[in-house]
Amino acid sequence: MRFRCLSVTVLFAVAFAAAQTPQTAKLPEVPYVPTENSVVDAMLKLAGVNNTDIVYDLGCGDGRIVVRAAKNHGARGVGVDIDPVRIQQARENAKRNNVESLVRFEEIDADIREATVVTLYLLPNVNVRLRPKLLRDLKPGTRIVSHSFDMGDWKPEKEEQVDGATIYLWTIPEKK
Ligand SMILES: C[S@@+](CC[C@H](N)C(=O)[O-])C[C@H]1O[C@@H](n2cnc3c(N)ncnc32)[C@H](O)[C@@H]1O
């Protein structure tokens, strides 16, 4: 629990420092803090991931969420990260776990329309900013799971505590 509070505090502290720095290049808005594997497993379970799913992790770090979705559930996956070092780590992670045929990692802004599950471990303001894109681009029925942070006034349909972390689930509604 103490580690969990520290992780979330570090996430906010580094994000605040980055926001104070004049930015000439595209920098990560959210620092790299990996999700513990027990929490990854709970996120995939909460979303009900199976071998028909395509899991997108927006800000994928070392790729652990899509790699575990592929290895343990047979899902396909795409990880997107602004940091080329993380993309390299994620590709090595996929290779080590023999799931290269199921997953890919990209540094560019991804077209997320094919996703059936989207995972997030970002920051509250980034989640809220992403929300219109998620609602616009994702198909009805697509599940979104977020580690630690909610989506403002879009209330989650489920919320769970896992090893000191909170995880949230939403489903994209039918388009009006
Ligand atoms: C808190 S980490 C989460 C990593 C991984 N999803 C996990 O749960 O283990 C956030 C990640 O988002 C990435 N990131 C930050 N800003 C980004 C942006 N604008 N576009 C894409 N990725 C970004 C960071 O490089 C970092 O790897």
* Ligand 1 contact via 14 beta carbon (within 6 Å): no
Candidate of 44, 62, 81, 148 to mutate for ligand 1, largest count of ligand atoms within 8 Å of Cβ: 81
* Ligand 1 contact via 64 beta carbon (within 6 Å): yes
Query: Using CA atoms, how far apart are residues 72 and 31, in angstroms rounded to an integer?
Result: 27
Instruction: Name the burial class of residue 122, with classes exposed (0-12), middle (13-18) and buried (19+) by CB atoms within 10 angstroms of its CB.
Output: buried
pLDDT on residue 6: 46
Query: Using CA atoms, how far apart are residues 150 and 128, in angstroms rounded to an integer?
Result: 8
What is the model's pTM?
0.91
Residue whose CA lies nearest to ligand 1 atom number 26: 32
Q: Summarize pLDDT for 94-144 with one digit per residue, the tens.
A: 999 999 999 999 998 889 999 999 999 999 999 999 999 999 999 999 999
Bridge partners for 143 per DSSP: 117, 171
85 Cα: distance to centroid of ligand 1 (angstroms):
11
* Inter-axis angle of helices 64-73 and 37-47, nearest 10: 60
The atom of ligand 1 lying closest to the CA of 83 is 25
pLDDT on residue 109: 80
- Dihedral sign, Cα of residue 48, residue 49, residue 51, residue 53: positive
* Ligand 1 contact via 36 beta carbon (within 6 Å): no
Instruction: Name the burial class of residue 173, with classes exposed (0-12), middle (13-18) and buried (19+) by CB atoms within 10 angstroms of its CB.
Output: exposed
Q: Summarize pLDDT for 97-108 with one digit per residue, the tens.
A: 999 999 999 998
The atom of ligand 1 lying closest to the CA of 64 is 9
